[in-house]
Amino acid sequence: MDDAIDIKQLQSYGMAIEDKANNIVRQLVQIYLEDAPDLLQTIELAIYQEDIALLKRAVHNLKGSSASLGAMTLASICQELETLAKTGRFDHADKTFSRLKTEYVRVETALQTQNVWT
């Protein structure tokens, strides 16, 4: 998938861990794919309820895990939402969240369809 994930970011785990890298990266991807939908749901709820603390926490978690797997565009959109939460402004949060969901689908597809750990 074009730019949905940075393959080099995932491959860097292999350089650091060698033989166990494939299994570890698979586990990281699996955990990410299990946790991200819940975080997206929490982010959507936080925006709807204008819950600044909940939004900050959920977006920060998704940003970090996305960046660690090389999903840099997704992490950047999370940063935008995190900035909105810090300012307490929700006027553009729904549009930004829509972009976040679209980008997550790209990342999810890339992680599921590419053998990113070899």
Q: What is the pLDDT of residues 95-111, one digit of tens each?
A: 999 999 999 999 999 99
Q: Is residue 118 part of a domain?
A: no
Q: Is residue 105 part of a domain?
A: yes
pLDDT tens per residue, range 37-88? 999 999 999 999 999 999 999 999 999 999 999 999 999 999 999 999 999 8
Q: Is residue 2 part of a domain?
A: no
Q: Is residue 107 part of a domain?
A: yes
* Predicted confidence band of residue 1 (pLDDT cuts 50, 70, 90): very low
Q: Domain range for residue 45?
A: 7-113
What is the pLDDT at residue 104? 98
Q: Is residue 28 part of a domain?
A: yes
Contact call for residues 74 and 107 (beta carbons, < 8 A): yes
Look at residue 93 and give its three-state secondary structure: helix
What is the DSSP code (8-state) at residue 92?
Answer: T
Contact call for residues 83 and 106 (beta carbons, < 8 A): no
- End-to-end alpha-carbon separation of the chain, Å? 16
pTM of the model: 0.83
